[in-house]
Amino acid sequence: MNSKFFQILKSKKELIPLAGILSFAALGALSFSVYSLFSKSDVIINKSGNPEPWQTIDPTKPQKLLTVQQKWKPIEELENVKKLTK
């Protein structure tokens, strides 16, 4: 299979850029999936360990891949409700 693929690429050289672009796109999609799996708080694999991981997020740390001028300040009413429920 592998040798046939390279034989086709050798005989039809116009397919080389297409194969390169598709390989780059597949690698990018795979690497972003792995990045999201291990670094994003909204992706859950093990629900028994911490079923609500979004409760332990540091609100001062940006959660997006790109954040532009985000400023966080706590909502006073929400903080009061959290204190009352604990």
Per-residue pLDDT, 58 = 75
Q: For tokens 């997020």, what's the residue? A: 57
The model carries a pTM of: 0.52
Q: Given a cut of 80, is residue 45 above it in pLDDT?
A: no
Instruction: Give the pLDDT confidence of 51-72 residue by residue, as tens digits.
Output: 676 777 777 776 676 767 767 7
Q: Which residue has the higher pLDDT, 8 or 27?
A: 27
Percent of the chain with pLDDT over 70: 83
Per-residue pLDDT, 21 = 96
